[in-house]
Amino acid sequence: MKVELTASQRGARAGFRSFAAAEIAPHADRWDREEALPRELLDKLRTSGYLGSTLPRELGGGGHDMITYGLLSEEIGRGCSSVRSLLTVHDMVAQAILRWGSREQKERFLPALARGELLAAVALSEPGAGSDAGSVETAARPDGADFVLDGRKKWTSFGQIADLFLVLARCAGQPAAFLVPRLTPGLTATPITGLLGTRASMLAELAIDGCRIPRENLLGRVGVGLSHVMATALEHGRYSVAWGSVGIAQACLEAALDYSRKRQQFGKPLADHQLIRAMLTDMITRVRAARLLCLRAGHLRDSGDPGAFMETMVAKYFASTVAARAAADAVQIHGANGCSADYPVARYLRDSKVMEIIEGSTQIQQITISQFDFQEF
């Protein structure tokens, strides 16, 4: 296996890094405090082609391979996890439509998603259904040419502003996925505020009361809404979150290196204290290991290898725990300063905790990964 970026991928990464340094990182703490992303940023993301960047060029997308998309997730995530989250959930829906949508659905939704004219979000979790996604209670009832949906969705990232929701419901007891426009009568989004991390992700709770959805908005057949449609979205989400976690860990490492060079204690820089060096070394090693796992998952995804599913899960599991550990150590190295709003490491710590919960918690990944290897060996 050759672990090397192509010239095109390196060039793309430089562009992502430059964009994040100019347009994202300097503002991320303010967006975190304000618990919102500004409209101007969304316009810049649209203009840059970062929304729907993995969609094929013929549909108006960026045609990014999975490695390039991973680099985008890392660099944007290094600046602000909420912005990375915006790209993640939007692309989760785009990928699900690309994979399982009818020709009509692809033509209707994908060009608009590629241009960012439509902003998409995933409505999966419910007040009573988190890790156990199969237990969703939102109900879809066939009624003439339509389905009528009733239920509650919670923790929907960018639910405050998304134009289109991928909603998992149950239809006659079977999972079914629907594309639900925001303006559907009966759909109400209530902002969720005061979150621990990724506070600018503009989460919402969705009330779905008698929403009438035409049959042509059923994505995939009834019965495969979770096992195939939502699985496609979630695998893509895990992949993006894995890279985004590498971005957080990298940001922690850079902040810790910078601070430990400048901060003097006991007459010498923190960097000259061996216990600080040990933390930095672990951080450096784990970040590199996590990035390698992400690259491997990306290569397998690009080649359509069936092993991509598990390798993506392994990458997400490891990278999210690396981010959490790196953030905790970065705060530790910063001491009291790390606990203040004067340095971004406190935000990294709060955001990293979220990475261990979204798109499959650390414990769900542990169960699934071990279950798979018990099956195989």
Partner 1 sequence: MDQRQQRIKDFLARFFRNHDLGPNDDIFGLGFVNSLVAVQLVAFVEKEFGIRVEDADLDLDNFRSIAAISALVARKTEQPAAGG
Applying the rule CB under 8 A, the residues between 274 and 313 that interact with partner 1 are 303-310
Residue of 69, 100, 259, 318 that binds partner 1 (CB under 8 A): 100
Which lies closer to partner 1 via its Cβ, residue 22 or residue 367?
A: 367
120 backbone dihedrals φ, ψ, rounded to 5°: -115, 155
Residue 375 in the binding site for partner 1 (CB under 8 A): yes
The least distance separating partner 1 from the CB of residue 310, rounded to whole angstroms, comes to 8
Indicate the pairing of strand 164-171 with strand 120-123.
parallel
CA atoms of 33 and 253, how far apart (whole Å): 23
Query: Six-digit token pair at 90?
Result: 């939007």
User: CB-wise, 93 or 345, nearer to partner 1?
Assistant: 93
Q: Quick one: which of 191, 161, 205 has its CA closest to 39? A: 161
173 binds partner 1 (CB under 8 A): no
Count of beta carbons in the 10 Å neighbourhood of residue 173:
8
Least CB distance to partner 1 at residue 138 (A): 19
Alpha-helical segments (H) within the chain: 7-19, 28-34, 39-48, 66-79, 81-100, 103-115, 231-262, 274-302, 308-334, 345-355, 362-376
Q: Is 185 in the site for partner 1 (CB under 8 A)?
A: no
Shorter beta-carbon distance to partner 1: residue 138 or 365: 365
Q: Which one among 139, 195, 231, 292 touches partner 1, defined by CB under 8 A?
A: 231
| DSSP result, 162-174 | -SEEEEEEEETTE
CA distance 286 to 322: 6
Q: How far is CA 80 from CA 30, 107, 115, 359, in A?
A: 11, 32, 22, 18
State the minimum distance, in angstroms, from the CB of residue 16 to partner 1.
28
3-class DSSP assignment, residue 135: helix
Instruction: Pick the closer one to partner 1 by CB: 115 or 372.
Output: 372
Residues 6+ apart with CB under 8 A from 80: 20, 24, 25, 27, 28, 31, 32, 200
User: In angstroms, what is the minimal distance from the CB of 172 to partner 1?
Assistant: 16
Least separation in angstroms between residue 105's CB and partner 1 is 9
Q: Does 102 bind partner 1 (CB under 8 A)?
A: yes
Indicate the residue among 152 and 299 with the shorter CB distance to partner 1. Answer: 299
Residue 135 binds partner 1 (CB under 8 A): no
Q: Is 103 in the site for partner 1 (CB under 8 A)?
A: yes
Catalytic-labelled residue, pool 205, 356, 359, 376: 359
Q: Is 359 a catalytic residue?
A: yes
For residue 125, the minimal CB distance to partner 1 (Å) is: 18
- Please tell me whether residue 91 binds partner 1 under the rule CB under 8 A: no
Q: Does 316 bind partner 1 (CB under 8 A)?
A: no
* Alpha-carbon gap, residue 157 to 169, rounded angstroms: 18
**Where in the sequence numbering do the catalytic residues fall?**
359
Judged by the rule CB under 8 A, the positions of this chain that interact with partner 1 are 100-103, 106, 220-221, 223-224, 226-228, 231, 235, 303-310, 368, 371-372, 375-376
